[in-house]
Every structure is written in C-alpha cells, then in structure tokens.
Amino acid sequence: MPLPSATFLHLLVDPGEDGSVFFTRWQPNSAIYRLRKTARNLPVSIGAPADGGWAGGLAKNADAVFYSNYRNDDSNPVRGVHRIPRNGDPSTQLVSDDAAQTYLGTVLLATEQDDLYFSTQYGSIALARTASTGGKVTPLWDLENPAPNGEGGYGLAVEDGWAYVGSGVAGVLRFSREGEKEILFDELEAGVGITFVHDVEGGLVYWESSDEILRRGNVDGSGEVELLAANVGRQATVHDGWLYLITADQKAIDRVPVDDPEAEAERLVFAPELGQIANIAFDEVSLYWMGIFRGEVFRLAL
C-alpha cells in the first residue's frame, strides 16, 4: 500500500536481511521514512524538517540517519543538517545556518567513517565537513561570498578521505578532509554548464553535465575524459562491476558493464506505472527503487 501522493526523493538501503530502507518525502509535508526489509507494511516517519522546510538530502551510518533542511528563503536557524539516532533518542541539529546565509540551500550529504560531508548550492560555504556526532564545522570549499547560481556544490561522492563535487564554473573538483582543493577536470573537459557528480568507484569519478552526457575520468584528474552515455536520467550508480542508469524518461533502469560501457544495455526494470523512477539503491543481493510520486519501494534480486 503506497503512501499518499507526494514527491519522494532519496533512497538508502542498509546491508543485511534485517536492515532498513530509508527515503524522504520532499513535499508536501516533508518527512523522513524508515521501512523494515522484513515488514510488508507502511513506512514509519522518523523525522520531519521544521518550519515547512524540505528534506533536501539523506545519508546514514551505523548509528544514525542524517537529513538536510533545505530552504532557499531568508535566513532561518532550522536550516542545515539534522541527525536522527537509530536507537530512538531525540534528533539533534548538527549544523545551523546563520544571518550570513553561510549554508543557504544545503542539499546533499555523505558519510565516511566518523565524518559527515555536506554541500550547498547558494551558501558561501559550498562544501564542508563535520563529525557525524556533531561538533566543529570545517569548511572545505569557501567561496567567501554567497554563491552565484551555478557556483555551489552539485552532486557529492566521498571515497578514501576525498569529497568529489561538481560546479557550474569550475568543472569537477575534489577536496581532502583538510580542505586541499584539486580541480580534476575544468569546465572545458567536464562538459557544458553545471556538472553534477553521481558516483566515485574503482578509481573513477562519474558525472553528468548540462548537455545530459554522462562522463567519467580518473580520480586524480589524469588521462582522458571518457564519454559514456547521453540523455541520462536522475541517477548513475556503480555497483559490483555494473553501471546502473535511470533512463532519461525516468521510466526504466538499465545497466552496462563498467569495463564495457558501450555494450548493449540490459534492461532490468520498466515501470511506466510509477510515472517517474526517483532513485535506486542496493544491498548485497538486490536492487531497490521507488517512484517520485508514489511512496512505494520495490526490489529485484540481482
């Protein structure tokens, strides 16, 4: 049985048979939901952004689930990053915006070990890191002034102590935990317009540009940029040797081998009844997906 019609975004899946599935309702009445893999019932709301905000991003680790309260209006202290403990303790706010709108438009989140990374699209801090339990915020990409459209962080992927983001004016970049900045591929190499980082895996970073072409390149910026696919949909994700793509019309999920991206795509899911497929996620044995406008989660054994 689906939840009432709304806009659903972000999908995360725990490993193991007894794990949980998490997703967000963007609007109306934004909320964060948890669904047990072993239970075939309605998801349970575990949190909701305050003051009419929107759950703009979602991340998790073994102890908690994190969401961003995305707002691009006037400064509001509830805007920022919030933590929901898995053990049922009260949620806490880890990052709060200020009068200077430093974290305006906080969107995407990612965790690695004890770190929590987040990007903003309009704030003066385009990328930052903090402890997953809270504490000092360490700016990694400081624009000094509120970001003009297109300059902030687009997409976010973290691997081995490096955070990868895209931009509308500087191509594909990566930042170390300490804030060391490297422009991997400039605006000419990365493609036209805004670049959105999808994933990093196996020494390669994957991104999409405004021309809707998926590209990849080495994580250290060496070598040539490889064009992979045109008219990519909402998501491109690497998992277990395969590149998974939501199609441009967002009605299907295809995959191709990572080592042979020009191979004929294998169609795994065709779901026009969902309207649009929102996001995909994985555990050890299955592919999960859900529709943007229907609060139902589906899975397919791989």
Q: What is the pLDDT of residues 113-172, one digit of tens each?
A: 999 999 887 778 889 999 999 999 999 998 876 655 556 778 899 999 999 998 877 689
Mean pLDDT of the chain: 87
Q: Please, which residues have CB within 8 angstroms of residue 25's CB and are 6 or more apart in sequence?
A: 3, 6, 7, 8, 9, 31, 32, 33, 55, 295
| Cis peptide upstream of residue 28 (ω within 30 degrees of 0) | yes
The mean pLDDT value for 186-207 works out to: 88
pLDDT value of position 89: 95
SS3 265: coil
Set out the domains of the chain in order of their start, with CATH numbers: 7-187+268-301 (2.120.10.30)
Share of the chain above pLDDT 70, in %: 91
pLDDT digits (tens, 9 = 90+) for 32-60: 999 999 867 778 999 998 887 888 899 99
- What is the dihedral sign for C-alpha 234, 237, 243, 244? negative
Please write down the long-range contacts of 87-92, taking CB distance under 8 Å and 24 or more positions apart: 87/63, 91/47, 92/134
CA-wise closest residue to 47 among 93, 15, 101: 93
How do residues 169-196 score in pLDDT, each as one tens digit?
Answer: 768 999 999 999 999 998 888 887 778 8
Instruction: Say yes or no to pLDDT of 67 above 90.
Output: yes
Number of other CB atoms surrounding residue 218 within 10 Å: 15
